[in-house]
Amino acid sequence: MTDLNETSINSVEAISYRYYNYVALIIILGILIIGKPRKKVDNKNRKLGQWTAEDYKPPSPAPYPNWDLNKTGPLPYRAFKHKYNITMGIRNMDWSSWFEIDNQWFKFHREKLNRLEKYDTSLYETTKEALPAAYELLEEMREYLPKRYPSMFESTEYGIHNKATDEDVNFMGKYRNFNPAKKTGVDPMKLAALLVQDDLAIMMESKDGQYILKGGAIILPGFWKFRDKFNMTLENIHTSGDVPKFKEKLQSGMEKFFVRLTCDKPVVRNNYFLQTDDQLGWSVSIGNEFKGKVGWGTADEATEIEKIHLRSERQSLRRLPKSGAIIFTVRTYFIPITEIVKEPFIPRRLLNGILSWEEDVQDYRGFTKFKDVLLPYLEEKALEQERLGFLPEEGPNVFPF
Ligand code: HEM
Ligand SMILES: *[C@@H]1O[C@H](CO)[C@@H](O)[C@H](O)[C@H]1NC(C)=O
Ligand SMILES: *[C@@H]1O[C@H](CO)[C@@H](O)[C@H](O)[C@H]1NC(C)=O
Ligand SMILES: *[C@@H]1O[C@H](CO)[C@@H](O)[C@H](O)[C@H]1NC(C)=O
């Protein structure tokens, strides 16, 4: 009897002992399979300048419908209104449209290569702080470009294959070799800028919540120089360029916007300028880019309408999930005025827009340097259209088109 009792006590203990073992095993397996229990990432309440990597993955872009590198023309942005009003002017961005590529890609690419050959590191830099963001940008481009433009890009083991140039653009694994201190290896921002038509900038948050230009490839800027703005805050970037009403109308909204921007809510904005020469990379008529001070103040007055171009930028802003850096893209659209006046309503709308500029906007945009040639020409073209019945403006005028 005693023996039996002892055995049954022992076997109860043995069973519960084995049971605990199973529970422990299941927990260990659970951790291995699902991952360690983690603190929830809460970047909303972050300490400024301290980003915690997020797992966010942007939605996969749809292939661009019927896209052909040799045929698909630039989107016809005509980003001016009858009345000019300075605002941030940001709109939500459709993820599919992060980078816009069209049949001017070769022209942009050649111009970028030419300028890189002449000016090289004046046009780009990746600092040590911006290095993870720069590689993250390239990896995001590797996800995006082959899906959006499958006839032009393919993702490969180490990066992207560019079918237009038959080049392998490698930046992963052993090719992740840029050393910002020694400047050895290949600068990732230069690689990124040679894939697309855009200029690219990396803005990083400081401990006091300022956004600072810490890296970029600004190769076709037209009117400003990367080196003049490098390592500057958003405030100094804009005030040093005398952006009209920056402090009164833009600064505080912009700074709040940058701090609050989340990974899933990219935005775009469009602007426009007039340029009095036909150079995409740098507006030579305002002066030599690398000699002395340049600006509208030093520009000659335009004499021929054929020289005047509409320069319009489509800019995007998104935050990268891992590094937390904000990527600023600038895609330029560059068209002779003599071309766009053929479009319905455009001469009158552009003329009205320019005539509504206040004095500070006139100064910033070089009004006096082209007004005598441009304004009578636009008036003539507008009247021609109005005699044909294009009045008042109707039809598609949904900003920015
Ligand atoms: C919400 C974001 C932003 C807004 C609302 C904004 C607004 C403006 C405005 C109104 C101008 C005058 C020309 C125009 O109409 O576009 C301007 C110029 C400029 N912006 Fe921004 N900007 C933003 C972000 C940035 C960023 C991230 C950079 C980083 C490089 C930047 C660099 C510049 C430069 C270099 C100029 C030309 C300044 C000059 O003429 O010297 N902007 N910006
Ligand atoms: C597109 O144009 C380029 C350069 O002009 C040419 O080399 C290429 O064969 C063309 N591709 C197609 C698909 O037509
Ligand atoms: C210009 O924009 C501001 C917002 O920044 C708005 O309050 C104002 O009404 C606008 N003015 C015109 C004429 O549209
Ligand atoms: C950028 O600015 C900071 C603070 O103003 C300065 O300490 C740093 O040396 C600058 N970096 C570069 C690369 O110029």
Ligand nearest to the CA of 232: 4
- Say how many Å lie between the CA of residue 71 and the centre of ligand 2: 10
| 276: region left, alpha or beta (phi > 0 left; psi from -120 to 50 alpha) | alpha
Kindly report the average pLDDT of the chain as a whole number. 93
The predicted pLDDT at position 238 comes to 98
**pLDDT tier at 36 (50, 70, 90 boundaries)?**
low
The predicted pLDDT at position 7 comes to 47
Give CA separation, 389 vs 340, 383, 392, in Å: 18, 10, 8
Q: Whose CA is nearest to atom 9 of ligand 4?
A: 231
**pLDDT tier at 40 (50, 70, 90 boundaries)?**
confident
What is the average pLDDT across 5-27? 59
Q: Which residues pair with 335 in a beta bridge?
A: 310
**β 199-205/159-162 pair status:** unpaired
- Say how many Å lie between the CA of residue 233 and the centre of ligand 4: 11
Please state the φ and ψ torsions of residue 18, each to the nearest 5 degrees: -65, -35
CA distance 167 to 395: 44
Q: What is the pLDDT of residues 287-312, one digit of tens each?
A: 999 998 899 998 989 999 999 999 99
What is the average pLDDT across 225-246? 97
Ligand nearest to the CA of 248: 3
For the chain, the structural domain boundaries read 80-336
The predicted pLDDT at position 35 comes to 60
- Say how many Å lie between the CA of residue 77 and the centre of ligand 3: 22
- Counting atoms of ligand 3 from 1, which one is nearest the CA of 87? 5
CA distance 287 to 150: 40
Residue 231 near ligand 4, beta carbon < 6 Å: yes
Q: Whose CA is nearest to atom 1 of ligand 4?
A: 231
CA distance 152 to 54: 30
The predicted pLDDT at position 211 comes to 98
The predicted pLDDT at position 263 comes to 98
**DSSP track, 222-254:** BS--HHHHTT-BHHHHHHTTT-TTIIIIIHHHH
The predicted pLDDT at position 141 comes to 99
DSSP-derived letter for residue 271 is E
Q: What is the pLDDT of residues 158-171, one digit of tens each?
A: 999 999 999 999 99
CA distance 190 to 367: 34
CA distance 340 to 275: 14
- Counting atoms of ligand 1 from 1, which one is nearest the CA of 364? 40
The predicted pLDDT at position 341 comes to 98
Q: Whose CA is nearest to atom 14 of ligand 4?
A: 231
DSSP-derived letter for residue 282 is B
Residue 60 near ligand 3, beta carbon < 6 Å: no
Give CA separation, 191 vs 96, 126, 166, 167, 168, in Å: 21, 11, 15, 11, 11
**pLDDT tier at 4 (50, 70, 90 boundaries)?**
very low
CA distance 338 to 318: 35
- Counting atoms of ligand 4 from 1, which one is nearest the CA of 231? 1
DSSP-derived letter for residue 388 is T
Q: Whose CA is nearest to atom 5 of ligand 4?
A: 231
Ligand nearest to the CA of 89: 1
What is the average pLDDT across 241-267? 98
- For residue 178, what are the contacts with CB-CB under 8 A and spacing of at least 6? 126, 131, 134, 184, 185, 186, 187, 188
Q: Whose CA is nearest to atom 14 of ligand 3?
A: 85
Q: Whose CA is nearest to atom 32 of ligand 1?
A: 237
Q: Any idea which residue has 């390592």 for tokens?
A: 231
- Say how many Å lie between the CA of residue 85 and the centre of ligand 3: 6
- For residue 94, what are the contacts with CB-CB under 8 A and spacing of at least 6? none
Give the containing element (helix H, strand E) for 284: none
What is the average pLDDT across 52-61? 98
The predicted pLDDT at position 30 comes to 66
Q: What is the pLDDT of residues 215-231, one digit of tens each?
A: 999 999 999 999 999 99
Instruction: Report the pocket of ligand 1 as residue ranges, CB < 6 Å.
Output: 86, 88, 90, 201, 203, 213, 223-224, 229, 237-238, 241, 243, 250, 254, 257, 271, 328
Q: What is the pLDDT of residues 274-288, one digit of tens each?
A: 999 999 999 999 999
CA distance 218 to 112: 10
- Say how many Å lie between the CA of residue 41 and the centre of ligand 3: 38
Q: Are 258 and 326 in contact (CB under 8 A)?
A: yes
- Say how many Å lie between the CA of residue 68 and the centre of ligand 2: 10
For residue 100, give the nearest of 156, 146, 145, 166 by alpha carbon.
145
